[in-house]
Amino acid sequence: MKIIMARNEQEMSRWAAERIIETVRTRPSLVLGLATGSTPEGIYRELVEDHRINGTSYKHVVTFNLDEYVGLKPDHPNSYHTYMKTRLFDHLDFLPQRTHIPDGNAADLAEECRQYEKHISRFGGIDLQLLGIGRNGHIGFNEPGTAFDTRTHVVRLTESTRKANARFFHRKEEVPTHAITMGIASILSSRQILLLATGRAKAEALRRLIEGPVHPDFPASALKQHPDVTVLADASACRYL
């Protein structure tokens, strides 16, 4: 696991965006795994800015998002469909049929999970996966205790994750109780992984990731079993390292 420390969030976002842009330029049909949350927002802004100025094209890029809430309509302001549309997809030249986000409203959620995995395989697997990290070490929505061999599945969100994500909703009760997430094995199947962390709130999680054991109690520790993971973090998130 390689750790790169940026001075601040802007620098982290610029470096991550540069890596994505460079990869898309050398490999236009890249299969890119996308994350949501506050951490990648600056990166998406950088990609939009670069597209506007330099015209980097995403026409051939295929994307797969990590997760989506169960029960929110795609156009709900807090759905990850809306997040991706407003922060990224509406501003770049992605082809809608090449962007994928789990359908949290599918009548048969288990079938949706199976189909999502099939789709990823059909495109040859994910080349580069962006990841955030939850304070409790969750990746995607894989909460502590998730087995490392899980593929895309439905999860019940922990109270701590619902509380952390309540800031995006009017009231905590509105935060969905379940989500669909790519599993830990799905994430580990990506060829390259870029884990992003910013701010003091993530410092303890990064310390546990680097110093702690590999154990399902801390899902991100599974990344230590992957041969090509880069942790890109700002100085605040690295304060305990």
Per CB under 6 A, the list member of 36, 99, 189, 190 interacting with ligand GLP is: 36
DSSP notation for 71-90? S--TTSTTSHHHHHIIIIIT
Per CB under 6 A, the list member of 37, 42, 183, 219 interacting with ligand GLP is: 37
Give me the sheet containing 153-156, strands edge to edge.
Answer: 67-69, 178-181, 153-156
- Segment interacting with ligand GLP (CB under 6 A) among 11-19, 29-37, 107-115, 213-221: 29-37
Is 67 annotated as catalytic? yes
Q: Dihedrals φ, ψ of 33, to 5°? A: -90, 125
Is 105 annotated as catalytic? no
Is 111 annotated as catalytic? no
Two tokens at 158?
Answer: 């922990």
Q: Which of residues 81-140 bind ligand GLP (CB under 6 A)?
A: 132-134, 140
- If the CB atoms of residues 56 and 208 are measured against ligand GLP, the closer one turns out to be 208
> End-to-end CA distance of the chain, in Å?
14
Is 211 annotated as catalytic? no
Contacts of 6 (CB under 8 A, 6+ apart): 12, 15, 232, 233, 234, 235
Q: Give the footprint of ligand GLP on this chain (CB under 6 A).
A: 35-39, 66-67, 132-134, 140-141, 161, 165
Catalytic residue numbers read 67, 136, 138, 143
